[in-house]
């Protein structure tokens, strides 16, 4: 495994999209359980205040930068540079494509009722031969959790995609990874909504210009409060980079 690049104490793996995809495929062919998280600057900021979230990220098996801000931060901080953005949605598309026509069993957990099921239908069409063995929405009650975990175990799921939003998904995965018996559990945020077609992905021009975060802000102003963390993240990184520079 490549080295880690710490961004405000969150260890990010120094991998390209291709290497991250290969790593998840390797995890799926092993006999152990693995956690995969894709923090963006908002999650890294959240982890500064939330010790449990920080612990989930520090103990994860693969942590990739889902946000150009994280990649830029690595460049400003003067240590190892992260090669590129490794977005959770694209990473999962690559993985789903690689495991079609294999015996790997997939389960989608998260989003509003009906969304995970629609996402599964769309992904089976997009990646023919994919085995999605179950789906469940992300609004289960605490007393329904046991039944959900038992279902995932009974279905012998290998790859579990969890879209419960951050930081709930990171905590839920870390709390249950051992008993779930899956080979990979990945936090995927709102990716199931995009797979289902309920939420549109930013047009390609925004993706190319690394402005997907800006598109999300203008199309979903409710996120504005959460996104206030972005300028704070930027200021902190600049402060840390200047401090490193003048300490040298
Ligand atoms: N969600 C869920 N259960 C909850 C809260 C949220 O399944 O109790 C889902 C929500 O429907 C959405 C996703 O979690 O599909 C969060 O999406 P968001 O875009 O906020 O994710 P992030 O920005 O964390 O990637």
pLDDT tens-place string over residues 5-49: 999 999 999 999 999 999 999 999 999 999 999 999 999 999 999
The per-residue pLDDT for range 60-91, each reduced to its tens digit, is 999 999 989 999 999 999 888 999 999 999 99
CA 177 to the chain's CA centroid: 15
- Ligand 1 mean position, distance from CA 229 (Å): 18
190 lines ligand 1 (CB under 6 A): yes
110 lines ligand 1 (CB under 6 A): yes
> Which of 70, 89, 189, 224 most suits a substitution to test ligand 1, by most atoms within 8 Å of the C-beta?
189
Q: What does the DSSP assignment read for 106-169? A: EEEEESSTTHHHHHHHHHHHHSTT-EEEEEE-S---GGGHHHHHHHHHHTT-SEEEEES-TTHH
Can you tell me the distance from the alpha carbon of 80 to that of 5, in angstroms, rounded to the nearest whole number?
6
189 lines ligand 1 (CB under 6 A): yes
> Which atom belonging to ligand 1 lies closest to the Cα atom of 66?
25
Strands of 62-63's sheet, edge to edge? 62-63, 34-37, 184-187, 159-163, 105-110, 131-136
Confidence at residue 136, expressed as pLDDT on a 0 to 100 scale: 98
């Amino acid at each position: 495994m490549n080295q880690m690049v710490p961004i405000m104490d969150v260890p990010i793996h120094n991998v390209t999209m291709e290497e991250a995809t290969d790593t998840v495929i390797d995890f799926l062919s092993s006999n152990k359980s693995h956690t995969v998280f894709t923090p963006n600057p908002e999650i890294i900021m959240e982890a500064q205040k939330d010790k449990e979230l920080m612990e989930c990220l520090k103990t994860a098996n693969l942590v990739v930068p889902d946000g150009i801000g994280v990649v830029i931060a690595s460049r400003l901080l003067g240590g190892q540079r992260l090669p590129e953005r490794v977005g959770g949605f694209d990473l999962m598309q690559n993985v789903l494509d690689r495991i079609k026509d294999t015996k790997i069993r997939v389960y989608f957990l998260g989003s509003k009722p009906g969304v995970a099921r629609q996402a599964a239908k769309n992904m089976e069409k997009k990646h023919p031969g994919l085995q999605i063995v179950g789906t469940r929405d992300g609004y289960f009650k605490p007393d329904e959790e046991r039944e959900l975990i038992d279902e995932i175990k009974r279905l012998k799921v290998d790859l579990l995609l969890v879209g419960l939003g951050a930081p709930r998904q990171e905590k839920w995965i870390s709390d249950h990874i051992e008993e779930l018996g899956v080979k990979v559990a990945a936090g995927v945020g709102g990716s199931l909504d995009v797979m289902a077609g309920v939420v549109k992905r930013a047009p390609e021009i925004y993706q190319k210009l690394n402005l997907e975060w800006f598109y999300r802000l203008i199309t979903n102003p409710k996120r504005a409060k959460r996104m206030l963390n972005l300028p704070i993240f930027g200021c902190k990184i600049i402060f840390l980079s200047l401090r490193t520079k003048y300490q040298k």
